[in-house]
Structure 1
Amino acid sequence: MRFIGQVLPVDGYFVTLKHHLTKNYSKSLTHLYQPLIGIQAVMLYQTLLHEIELEEEISPQTHHTLMNYLNIPLDEIYKARLKLEGIGLLKTFKKTKENTTIFTYELQGAFAPSDFFRDAMLSQLLYHQIGDQKYNMLKNHFVKTYSENVGEDITVSFHDVFQTFTPTLEVVKPIRSEEESPPVQTADFSWLIQMLTQRMIPVGRVLTAYNRKLISQMQLLYDLDSYEIEKSVLWALTEENYLNTEEFKTACHDLFKSKHHDSKIKLTEKVEKNQALPKSKPVTKEDMLIHELETISPKQLLEDLSGGNQASEQDMKIIREVMTSQGLPSPVMNVLIHYVLLQSNMKLSKAYLEKIASHWSRANIKTAKEAMEFAKKEKERFQKTPQKQQQRTSYKRKDSKEIVPDWFKERKVKQTKTVQSTQPVIDLEKEKAELEKLLNQKVQHNNRF
């Protein structure tokens, strides 16, 4: 991702605060957000927060002011801003007026510590970032748990108190309002609904508003496919068909570890897939092919090469096993699939894939362009090797310039004549006649019996 040039020192900015801050917001920033986004992002948030009282309504501040306050380059400020936006602490608006760019930074309220631990994604990220010992210490400190010996829960529900003729709203106790934190809809709930219905499991009991948000967050966090989410949901269902959220999160994490060989979950900056591509549009056919292989998925590539037919489950299983075992990026895997299909008459051989994939993995190939260039060089090298061997052999035979004495040549000629004279002279016509005679005798013998 490009950082330089996105913001200029002369660009102005205003700061606004969306909501009132919670009482313990500074503790949340220090102990809960800072391990995830870093000290520069937290310092930028606090600097913008305390500038609200100082800024004037008419003239904006310039980003040069922030560079002086934080004593860091502008590209680092831009990186910190993106982290605040990604974690949900900042919204940025941009407008251009009279050749002047003005940004409006709208600060969002940080979670209170107790609410932070109720958010499934943030709490899981913090758990993987600081470890279970520190995480449990912070959770026990900030989240107050009541004693279990408090008696029977006799709290009435909404429907026990109120009556309505058109009950269309489901009462849910949200962590944030919909305006502050719009739900992330990434999971395929239509598939889950169909799966639960087929198994006669109450859909409304499992896919509550909170559980839908949790499922979407876990799918995004662990990069799970729909069938893996289905497996995790079934694993975490209780006997009463309620979703045990802790078991569901554990199941998602176990699936991630099995897919990625115990890799650790850690919040890092996102690297764009097309970062290695040239900025200019592809011109040649090869550039267009590289661009295509960088952007599509292996499944889509298989379907394109098979005339739009759906990729078989066996082929996808082979590709998945090779990708996970060798750690090849998707663009490199696309080049490998394309290369193997061309070399093996459109057959996807697992052994051939694994052999080349292990070679490319050791060569540390990361992009489609690198993979194509590497494949070309290897093919040229294998084609030239037999030719060089043949040239070296013929060179030794034809271009030999040894000085041979005359007496050696005469002796060699005599030996050749002697060998020719001693060899028996074969009469081909006579041999042919005898062979025909033997064949006729054998045919007559067989007819006799």
Structure 2
Amino acid sequence: MGEFSLQQQYRVISDTALTIPDIQALTQVYLPIIGHEAFTLYMTLACYPHDDQRTFVHTELLDQAGLTHHSFLDARGRLEGIGLMKTYQQDLTMKTQWVYEMLEPMSTRAFLSDDTLASLLAHYLGEETFTQLVADTLPEKKEVPGKNVTASFFDLIGADSFKQMKSPVTKPDRLAPVQKDIKAANKSLNLDLMSQMLKSFNVSLRDLKTNEAALQVEKELYGLDDVALVRQIQQSVTADHQIDMKRLRNNLKQQTLASQRQPVADSMPTAINETDNTTDNTTDNATVTPSKNPAQVFLDQVKNTAPVAYLKALRQARGGFITDSELKVLQDTAQLNRLPNEVINVILYELTVVEGRSTISRNLMQTIVNDWSQAGIQNATGAIKYLQDRQKKRAEAQTSTKSRYRQQRPLKNETPPDWKNQKVEAATAEEQAAASRQLAALRAKRKQEDSKS
């Protein structure tokens, strides 16, 4: 935007005329998000004559809409981000010219039916106003009594004919920028969008940039999207409109602990169990089909699940829960920024499921993270291979130790008893007779003693 000048000319492309439903949608669902300056700019340009070749000067536009240089650029960016406008820069021979293509707004019903856009609108309107708007726009449909015998689309053209058909048009993708801006982005924060959402709380963009690294850690640790993170910031703003990261971390920890007291219908705990091969993660994780092998299922889980949610699911699968100290361990580990989340999840699985530990200590976790970090492990596949190699080395070491013990064990030279070498000779007849007389005498003597008593 450095080449932009108010003296430059522009053209407007607008193929559709605004209708009453369009204006209602702009007023009800777009205005709270883009603000009155962007709304004014859109209405001004959308009402221009439908002449693609006619040029105008920006100074006249700003006077007409009551905008300044800065507010115009900001309003234009908002319209581009929400999908109401496209901007083209044309570098001609002697000058630069701009083309503004005005796009038709979504209907109020379509806007509210989109979960991402509806979530963003709810932030600006508040839950009560948003709920009322949904009730007015999307009333509950009454069920019609009777059996539904309506013919289907395939009954009209036939399934075989449908397979041979090619789509004659390409579905417009003008809402893609909005989806990318609002949905979860694990690799970066959309600070501009967050700044706009926090404008009513007077949180500056500079403060967001100052805490960007810390916010990114909490976002990835708990699996938050930008909208959810903004709501956490709103609850952690100080009196002087600064972000209190200590309060934010504590709020996230307390919310996680509180959620474990409620019965949560979540299929993730059973999916993480080693005896199951499917998963349906509630945090928009990739759906795993039964055709995938257990190893691929495990990789999908550790790659697409935040560490807190993963450990929580592991604990719940065995009837347990995350402790306060374990959440602190995970926060400390994430702040070290030594290992990616998927590797941390492999560690959690190894300690919880394989080793069967009911709790994870800070010293143990830091020791493992330090060891794996020095080993250069950067992904889940590398972590699994590292564990397999270590297990193999331990088995080989145990086998070698036993073999060495047997080889080094000294043999005892026992002295045989004296009787072992004695020779036994048969008794003579005289010796046998003498022994019989002695035995008879002993018996007679014992018989006399018994009779006296």
Q: TM-score, normalised by structure 1?
A: 0.41
Q: TM-score, normalised by structure 2?
A: 0.41
